[in-house]
Structure 1
Amino acid sequence: PAPGDMIHVDIKPLGRIGCVGHRIHGDRRQASPGVGWEYVHVAVDDHSRIAYVEILADQLGATCAAFLERAVAWFGTRGIRLHRVLSDNGGGYLSRAFRTACATLTVRHRRTRPYTPRTNGKAERFIQTLLREWAYTMPYATSAERRRALRPFLAYYNRRRPHASLEYEPPWSRLPKAA
């Protein structure tokens, strides 16, 4: 296995912030009508565990396809050529737009079996880490503030955070040396 052999992609809906700290303080009595959702799209390299993340407005096929195109470009600038992408059977990943993007990028698309999220375990596990160490780590005042905290977290995660599965090395240590 080598970086780029396969990436795992997934989406996590994340509630927009309507009032500060309800997850931390437990006060859910104040309703925030019309706040809605934003969608965290993740791509995790199977070999290195390096992660690319964007927060987008929806999880439609065109959005998933555009995310894949940007992820392929991002990994490419780090010396990683993607060969396969593994996703669940969400509507965005089953769409014609996503299929077309895979064909254009010459990336083979594999899907997990229905109702078996463990097959896409690297993306699922990364999402749990992302929620615990970034999204819910502090009482952000606004969704924009939380979005601004994402880039520094990803820099830490990819370049410095030790991973037990990587012999306590960061994902960056598994990339080609030119990266």
Structure 2
Amino acid sequence: MIFISVVYIILRGCEHEYTQKNPVNPPDREEIWRLYGTRDWTIVALAQKFRVSRPTIYKVIERARKQEFSPRKSTNKRFLQAKYGMKRLAKVESSLEIKKKSAARRYNKSYPGEMVHFDTKRLPLLRGEVKTLPRDYLFVGIDDFSRELYAAILPDKTQNSAATFLKQVIEECPYTIECAYSDNGTEYKGTPDHAFVALCKTNRIAQKFTRVRHPQTNGKAERVIKTILEMWHEQTIFTSRKDRELSLVRFVNFYNTVKPHTGISNMTPYEKLTNFFFNL
């Protein structure tokens, strides 16, 4: 609210300037006109009585002849702009507060496998590759409870590739996956004969999806993809696509066993899972 306070002070200053330019309210204008009509009051005397300049008295009398006793609409653009800016800033401040509260609503599921977040990202071309070459796609799965990461590079973003990745996760995962959470991409969502949907049903994995056009609600998967690109892909020079696939395996191992995560009390996913299973 600091921004609003600063602008409020500026606005009050502009409003003061506006008041100085329009110091006579409607009742005072009527009184000036009445006194002036008695011919007992000079312009100088009226200016002294109402503490305004003589030009202001002349303007009041001129407008009073037209029965115009209310101040005209302000032409002070600084005041009008500040007033608009105040409203605009209030909206911005309100939206920031909402985002701050939303960001603060962190949560973790109660046990491993309760929910695994899935997402897909098209990978950049390698250095020296021509632009016409088909892109590879990064598939990720991250356990909501432990932040344990699963990842694979596949040649396309289809339901078959998504099913291939899910099969890999199921085989590698030491606990039962109860729910797969993803966006509404066609690789994850479809009819009962859809490859990913069918594999979920076969393994009794429920599916949940983000709100339509709100992929950011799948925040854990979005965040881990950003981390992978920043910490691994952008920092590594790959000799080939096969080299990139092998490098990803090493990074996933680092992510799960070495890198601490603030969302799980600065533990690694491995430590989080170890603590859970040894305390059952």
Place the TM-score, normalised by the shorter chain, in its bin. Answer: 0.7 to 0.9
Matches within 5 A, 1:123-162: 123-162=221-260
1:87 aligns with 2:182: yes
CA drift of 1:117 comes to 1.8
CA distance in 1, matches of 2:150, 2:116: 10
CA drift of 1:18 comes to 4.4
- Paired position in structure 2 for 1:11: 120
CA distance in 2, matches of 1:62, 1:36: 17
Give a deviation string over 1:127-147, Cα, whole Å, max 9, x none. 000000111112323322222
The structure that is strand-richer by fraction is: 1
* Secondary structure class of the residue paired with 1:101: helix
- Paired position in structure 2 for 1:53: 151
Runs of 4+ aligned structure 1 residues displaced above 6 Å come to none
* Secondary structure class of the residue paired with 2:180: strand
CA distance in 1, matches of 2:131, 2:118: 30
Name the aligned partner's letter for residue 121 of structure 2.
Answer: K
Q: Percent identity, please.
A: 32
Can you give the 5+ residue segments of structure 2 that lack an aligned partner in the other structure? 1-109
Matches within 5 A, 1:68-79: 68-75=166-173, 78=174
Identify the match of residue 115 of structure 1 among 200, 213, 231. 213
CA drift of 1:50 comes to 0.3
- Paired position in structure 2 for 1:25: none
| Greater shift in the superposed pair: 66-75 or 119-128 | 66-75
* Secondary structure class of the residue paired with 2:177: coil
1:172 aligns with 2:265: no
Native 8 Å contact 1:9 1:43 kept in 2: yes
Identify the match of residue 130 of structure 2 among 4, 29, 32. 32
Q: CA RMSD in A?
A: 1.5
1:41 aligns with 2:150: no
The answer to which structure, 1 or 2, has the higher relative contact order (CA under 8 A, 6+ apart) is: 1
Q: Which has the larger radius of gyration?
A: 2
* Secondary structure class of the residue paired with 1:5: coil
CA distance in 2, matches of 1:15, 1:37: 7
- Paired position in structure 2 for 1:103: 201
